[in-house]
Amino acid sequence: MILALHGFGDAALLTFTPAAEAWSAAGITTYAYDQRGFGANPSRRQWPGPTVLIDDLRATARAVRAAHPGRPLLVVGHSMGGGVALAAAPDLAADGVVLAAPAIAGDAGINPFLRVGAWCLNTFLPKRRFTGDGVVSFLPTDNLEVLRFVARHPLSFGDPSGEELLGLVLLSDRAAAAAADVTLPTLTLIGARDEVIRPAAIRRVAETIGGRAEIRTYPEGWHWLFRDLQAPLVWGDVAAFALSLPRPET
């Protein structure tokens, strides 16, 4: 089984639908939910804070595991969801974790000026939202059809508030701090063309993860690894990792 977590401003339906169909064809059941503050939740665009997101994942993983005793459970987190997954991993009722283009590059991985900027925005303009137009320019994927679809979708948004920007920094810090205490088998997926989170910064933290830790880099991968043009390769690698996990003791 797979329990999947989407990234910031996204939704489970948008991130994982094609991937879940591929995993189903491989005999893997997928659970995915909209994290608080995102997707179809009534709390959409209200930042819940890292602790709530981490606690929600832990509670959901326990519920899924209780509903399917004896079946291995793999938690898959993309971007912000990867940060939540790694931060939760030291005390997570799962058998493995996949971190896809994860927001884990906390601590030294975040430019000090960006950190100070996020703190200032949270202090003085916590609820104001920023589009980044004219300041930040990047593409999350090479799949322009999907990019246009997501940009128009009502469940998606890409204008973080000052509060959310600092929250993402603090979540990344917690993820980086938890890495050494993780004992679950972990697979980190990195897009070499990722323009949202620097691949080198992701790798630096991924290399500190304890236990069985693997890193896979996709030369043609971008930030939206599950929706890029080469996404089927990623779906297959995640399925193979899920099927390699041993059954938990009951």
Give pLDDT tens digits for 133-163.
544 568 999 999 999 999 999 999 989 998 9
Residue 156: predicted pLDDT: 96
Residue 189: predicted pLDDT: 98
HEC string for the chain:
CEEEECCCCCCHHHHHHHHHHHHHHCCCCEEEECCCCCCCCCCCCCCCCHHHHHHHHHHHHHHHHHHCCCCCCEEEEECHHHHHHHHHHHHCCCCEEEEECCCCCCHHHCCHHHHHHHHHHHHHCCCCECCCCCCCCCCCCCCHHHHHHHHHCCCCCCCCEHHHHHHHHHHHHHHHHHHHHCCCCEEEEEECCCCCCCHHHHHHHHCCCCCCEEEEEECCCCCCCCCCCCHHHHHHHHHHHHHHCCCCCC
Residue 194: predicted pLDDT: 97
Residue 109: predicted pLDDT: 66
CA dihedral 210, 204, 167, 147 (to 10 degrees): -110
**C-alpha R_g of the chain:** 17
Which one, of 26, 232, 1, lies nearest residue 98 by Cα?
1
In this prediction, the residues of the chain whose per-residue pLDDT falls under 50 are 134-135
Alpha-carbon span 245 to 230, nearest angstrom: 24
User: Domain 2-244's class?
Assistant: alpha beta
- Domain extent listing, the chain: 2-244
The predicted model scores a pTM of 0.94
Give Cβ neighbours of residue 235 (< 8 Å, ≥ 6 apart): 18, 19, 22, 23, 226
Query: Edge-to-edge, what's the strand order for the sheet holding 74-78?
Result: 30-33, 2-5, 74-78, 96-100, 186-191, 213-218
Residue 120: predicted pLDDT: 76
Residue 208: predicted pLDDT: 96
Alpha-carbon span 106 to 83, nearest angstrom: 9
* Token output for 223: 């930030």
Alpha-carbon span 1 to 152, nearest angstrom: 31
Give Cβ neighbours of residue 94 (< 8 Å, ≥ 6 apart): 3, 61, 65, 73, 74, 75, 184
